Amino acid sequence: MTNRDQGRLYVVATPIGNLADVSTRAVQTLARASLIAAEDTRHTGALLKHLGVRTPLLSLHEHNERARTPEFLARLAQGESIALVSDAGTPAISDPGFELVRAAAAAGIEVIAVPGPCAAIAALSIAGLPTDRFCFEGFLPARAAARRSRLAALAGEPRTLVFYESPHRVQGMLEDAASVLGADRPAALARELTKLHETLYRGSLGALLERAGREPDMARGEIVLIVAGAPSAPAGLTAAGSGGGLLDQVLGPLLKALPLRQAAELAAEIAQVRGNEAYKRALELKEAYGAR
C-alpha cells in the first residue's frame, strides 16, 4: 500500500458509453485508491474488470449517501484514499456524491477532480446553440404540473438551458417545453452520446416534438435536451418600472402555461417587482400574447 495516495477524495469521471473515453489518469487513480465509492457496485465492478482494476468497492448512492458519508470521512481521516464514481460521467452532476464532497471539504480533506466525460457538456458542445453562457437544470420533476411550473420559472432565462431526461418522459418534456417556452424556440436533443446509436436532432421545440411523435428511437437511451435561451421581449412591449423588459420576457410564456394570477405571481418573484405591478402588466399583455 505504499504506492497509494493517502487521505484524499478523488472525484473520478468515467465513460458515459464508449469505454475508450476513460482517461489514463482515471485508471491510475482507481487502481491506486484504497477504496472506490460507487453508485452501483455491480455496474462499476464490470468497468473495473474491463480495466483490470481490483480495488475494493463500497456503495454510495442517493438512498444511503447521507448515512454512509461519516464512514467514508472516518476512513479518509485514517489516511485512506477514496475514489468516488457514479454509473457514468462525472459524479455529483445529477448523480450521487455532493454530500460526500461537501462533508470532506468541510472536514479539511483534500478533494481532487479527475475530469472526463460529462453528458451535459458533450451535448452542449455539438448542439450548435450558444455556449458562452448556459444553465444546467438536470432532471426536471417527473409530474407534469411540477415540470411545467419549473419550465415557466425558466421562461425568461436568457442563457442556453441544458436538461437531462429519461426515455419514457421525453415526449411529455418536449410537449411541455414547446408549450411553455414556445414551439419556435431553437433546441437540440442528443441521445446515446458516445454509444453505437448516438444521434443528435436539431430544430425548434415544435419540430422536435413532431419528430418524436413519428420516430420512436428519439425516446430510447440516455437523453440530453439543449434549449436556446429566451429571446428579447417583443418590440413595444417593454414595461416601465424596476422589472422592465425582464417582466415582459417571463410573463409572455407564463401566461401561455398558467392562469393569469398564478403567472403574475411567479413573474413578480422572478423579475423582483411588486405583485400588483406584475398583475397589471399581465392584464395588458393577455390579449397581445393570446394567453388565457
- The bridge status of strand 82-85 relative to strand 57-59 is unpaired
- Alpha carbons within 13 angstroms on the beta-carbon side of residue 52 total 2
* Banded model confidence at residue 262, pLDDT cuts 50, 70, 90: confident
Q: What are the distances in angstroms from CA 15 to CA 50, 174, 223?
A: 12, 27, 15
Kindly state the cell numbers that stand for 90: 462525472
> For 105-133, how does the pLDDT look when each residue is reduced to its tens digit (9 = 90+)?
999 999 999 999 999 999 999 999 999 99
What CATH number should be reported for the domain whose range is 120-227?
Answer: 3.30.950.10
- The CA distances from residue 218 to 39, 90, 121, 208, 224, in Å, are 27, 24, 20, 9, 11
Reference 282, options 231, 265, 158, 270; nearest CA is 265
Do 245 and 223 contact (CB within 8 A), yes or no? no
As a whole number, mean pLDDT of residues 199-226 equals: 95
What are the structural domain ranges in the chain?
8-117, 120-227, 244-289
The per-residue pLDDT for 232 is 64
CATH among 3.40.50.720, 3.40.920.10, 3.40.50.2300, 3.40.1010.10 for 8-117: 3.40.1010.10
Q: Is the pLDDT of residue 13 over 70?
A: yes
pLDDT tier at 238, thresholds 50, 70, 90 = very low
Tell me the pLDDT band of 168, cut-offs 50, 70 and 90. Answer: very high
Instruction: Tell me which H or E stretch contains 120.
Output: helix 119-127
**Percent of the chain whose pLDDT exceeds 70:** 91
CA distance 136 to 120: 8
Q: Which residues contact 122 (CB under 8 A, 6 or more apart)?
A: 16, 190, 193, 194, 224
User: Cα–Cα distance between 168 and 160 in angstroms, integer?
Assistant: 24
Average pLDDT, integer, range 131-154: 93
Asked whether the predicted pLDDT for residue 292 surpasses 70, the reply is no
Is the pLDDT reported for residue 214 higher than 70?
Answer: yes
Does the pLDDT value for residue 35 go beyond 80?
yes
Q: In the predicted model, is pLDDT for residue 291 greater than 60?
A: no
The reported pTM is: 0.80
User: Do the strands 186-191 and 35-38 form a parallel or antiparallel pair, or are they unpaired?
Assistant: unpaired
| DSSP for residue 191 | E
Using pLDDT thresholds of 50, 70 and 90, give the confidence band for residue 59.
Answer: very high
pLDDT tens per residue across span 176-194: 999 999 999 999 999 999 9
Q: Which three cell numbers stand for residue 107?
A: 472536514
CA–CA dist 208, 191 (Å, integer): 13
Q: Where are the alpha helices (DSSP H) in 194-257?
A: 205-214, 244-257
Cα angle at 163 between 160 and 166, to 5 degrees? 160
DSSP secondary structure code for residue 225 in this structure: E
Confidence of residue 287 (pLDDT cuts 50, 70, 90): low
Residue 1: pLDDT above 50? no
Query: Cα separation of 239 and 291, whole Å?
Result: 17
Question: Cell triple for residue 216?
Answer: 420512436
**What pLDDT, in 10s, does the model give residues 17-30?**
999 999 999 999 99
